[in-house]
Structure 1
Amino acid sequence: MDATIALFLAQDGVTNGAIYALLALSLVLVFTITRVIFIPQGEFVAYGALTLAAFERGAFPLTAVLAVLLGLAAFAADLAREPAARTPRRIAVGLAADVGFPMALLLAAWHVAPLKLGPAVEVPLTLAMIAALGPFLYRLVFRPLAEASVLVLLIAAVGVHLALVGLGLVFFGAEGFRTQPLTSAMFEVGPALVTGQSLWVLGTAGGLIAALWAFFEHTLTGKALRATAVNRLGARLVGIPTASAGRIAFALAALIGALSGVLIAPVTTVFYDTGFLTGLKGFVAAIIGGLVSYPLGAAAAILVGLVEAFASFFASTFKEVIVFTIIIPVLLWRSLRTVHVEDEE
């Protein structure tokens, strides 16, 4: 392997690592606030990529229909569970947010799809549709289990993953798709060529990470989310609505997943089940970060991307095995450093 190949592999690894960093950050965000190990995060990636691909083909994406159905189900579930939600004002607000908003997205998608208006219109519409799925899933599946153990929440997350994979096959079919790159520019950096799409990925990932930092450090909502992550009971005692914190966390996770799908769709063929492996690699990075550290999770994601890129060159058959093997020494190290306390009988 010469320097040119090494630079090419490093570029590919850092680009993929930036995507894994976004997924790792969203996994850490959801876990620290809701204690949910959100296995279906990768499905948001696949849904984002395939929804945008449907727009590019001039086809109506059935993701819009899913958003409407989940909104109706969440609205009905809130009415059934919460007597306080049955007041005329709450019903009107619920209908507008849970039914009116996704219905508006559906009508916009129906109008936009055959026109092929390009990424400036199709990408924001895709992100809005996928981001709407996150809070609805939280309210339907995870909010009723808010006081359950982490294991129960994990089992529920696996169930949501299986449901979304099956729906993805129904909505998008078994065929894989790619989208048009956001730019076709190429730049020479020494002996290597850097694609404009890679710069888009790195720039967007870096900008989003900076925006998340500013959100959590300098906004009241962000500080409320941090308080919920540190101590859920304490946050509730000082008046922070932890249910709203969960909805915001899931909305951000869905938005980040959809954006990741939009970014990787031009560089890799995406299938209905592609998101699972992609999400697992983000999960490996999040585990290395202990599911609590944002900077360590982002750095670990770059490491995962580099290991994957070089493993694909030296041992492509065992690429996935090598990537997931990284987690074993990390878990052993954490186990040895953790003080185990036996439960009292």
Structure 2
Amino acid sequence: MDFSIASILMLDGVTNGAIYALLGLATVLVFTVTRVIFIPQGEFVAFGALTLAGLQLGHTPGTIVFLLLMAALVALLDLVAGLRAGQSAGQVLGPVLRAAALPVAIGLVALWAAPQKLPLLVQVLLTLAVVTAMGPLVYRLAYQSLADASVLVLLIVSVGVHFALTGLGLVFFGAEGSRNPSFWDASFNLGPLLFSGQTVIMLLASAALIVMLWLFFEKSLYGKALRATAVNRLGARLMGISSTGAGKLSFMMAAFIGALSGVLISPTTTIVYDSGFLIGLKGFVAAVFAGLASYPGAALGALLVGVLESFSSFWASSFKEVIVFTSILPVLLWRSLRDPHSEEH
């Protein structure tokens, strides 16, 4: 291996690591706020890429209908819960309709726009809106009633949600893969490196989103509320911060990050209905490197995963996934020895 090959592999690793960094940050965000190890994070990646592919063809992706059905089911559950709590129909109906208005509006606009073959940028924004709106609904249906359950129970639920979303992805998109057009067809030379326009967009978009997340958590009231919930859930409740609202917001952000990641990588590789699982799992490996607690650690771990995957594909392509996922074992062993865990009560 000479310097030029090593440079190309490094660039490929950093590019993939930028996407894994986003998914790792989303995993850390969801876990710190809700204690959910969100295995289905990768399904949002696949839904984002394949929804955009459907819009490109002028089809109506199944994710749009799925969004409307979930919104209707959540509205029904909230209505029944309010009536059981002794509230009148008038008291319950207003908040339920306000909560359902946004996802229903997004779904109806998407139903109208899908056959129109609108410009690519509009389709991307529509895809992000549809998949992002799914996040709070998934939290309401699968996790909200179990918010105080143990981490193990929440993990089992995550596995179930993963299988359910993967199966729905097969129903929505079929077994055939899709690849979207590049957002920028330019290319740039820097020594032995060839930067495609899509690579530049992926790196810049990932860096911009990471900066925006930092600003959100440091400067905004909602970001500080999420940080408070992550530090002490009970203390945040006593200060008037809704753990339910924090959970929905964290899932909405995770869905947006997943959808954006899917849209960014879809021009560089063929995405099928279950591709997101492997991609999301590499983001989870990055989050494990950070102990599921540190955002900078997750970003650095993601770059390490990307570079490790890139060089492994050169030296032993058949075993690159094995090498990447095995790399978490020494990390887990080191963390276990450094911070012995106590029994959870």
CA contact (8 A) 1:61 1:109 kept: no
The alpha-carbon deviation at position 65 of structure 1 amounts to 0.6
2:148 aligned residue: 147
Q: 1:146 to 1:192 in 2, by over 3 A?
A: same
Which digits, 9 at most, give the CA deviation of each residue in 1:279-313, with x for residues without a partner? 10000000010000000000000000011111111
Which digits, 9 at most, give the CA deviation of each residue in 1:241-298, with x for residues without a partner? 1110000000000000000000000001000000000010000000010000000000
2:302 matched to 1:264?
no
CA contact (8 A) 2:39 2:162 kept: yes
Q: Given the alignment, which residue of 72, 93, 114 partners 1:91?
A: 93
One-letter amino acid matched to 1:52: L
One-letter amino acid matched to 2:80: A
The alpha-carbon deviation at position 164 of structure 1 amounts to 0.1
Which digits, 9 at most, give the CA deviation of each residue in 1:131-153, with x for residues without a partner? 11110011111010011000000
2:289 matched to 1:288?
yes
Measured on the aligned residues, the alpha-carbon RMSD in Å equals 1.5
Alpha-carbon distance between aligned partners in 2 of 1:19 and 1:144, rounded to the nearest angstrom: 31
Alpha-carbon distance between aligned partners in 2 of 1:245 and 1:61, rounded to the nearest angstrom: 29
Correspondence 1:45-56 to 2 at 5 A: 45-56=45-56
The alpha-carbon deviation at position 116 of structure 1 amounts to 1.7
Q: 1:241 to 1:342 in 2, by over 3 A?
A: closer
CA contact (8 A) 1:85 1:91 kept: no
Q: 1:185 to 1:85 in 2, by over 3 A?
A: farther
2:332 aligned residue: 331
Alpha-carbon distance between aligned partners in 1 of 2:290 and 2:249, rounded to the nearest angstrom: 22
2:73 aligned residue: 73
Correspondence 1:20-35 to 2 at 5 A: 20-35=20-35
Q: 1:103 to 1:189 in 2, by over 3 A?
A: same
Alpha-carbon distance between aligned partners in 2 of 1:95 and 1:38, rounded to the nearest angstrom: 28
CA contact (8 A) 2:48 2:127 kept: yes
Alpha-carbon distance between aligned partners in 2 of 1:61 and 1:310, rounded to the nearest angstrom: 36
Q: 1:281 to 1:78 in 2, by over 3 A?
A: same
Identity %: 58
Q: 1:312 to 1:85 in 2, by over 3 A?
A: farther
CA contact (8 A) 1:79 1:86 kept: no
2:206 matched to 1:205?
yes
1:304 aligned residue: 305
TM value normalised by structure 1: 0.96
Alpha-carbon distance between aligned partners in 2 of 1:31 and 1:321, rounded to the nearest angstrom: 25
2:129 aligned residue: 128
The alpha-carbon deviation at position 81 of structure 1 amounts to 2.4
2:41 matched to 1:41?
yes
One-letter amino acid matched to 1:35: R
Q: 1:135 to 1:340 in 2, by over 3 A?
A: closer
1:313 aligned residue: 314
Which digits, 9 at most, give the CA deviation of each residue in 1:27-54, with x for residues without a partner? 0000000000000000000000000011
More off after superposition, 104-113 vs 11-20 = 104-113
2:170 aligned residue: 169
Unaligned runs of 5+ in 1: none
1:16 aligned residue: 16
More off after superposition, 194-203 vs 41-50 = 194-203
Alpha-carbon distance between aligned partners in 2 of 1:114 and 1:78, rounded to the nearest angstrom: 33
1:5 aligned residue: 5
Which digits, 9 at most, give the CA deviation of each residue in 1:225-251, with x for residues without a partner? 100000000100111111100000000
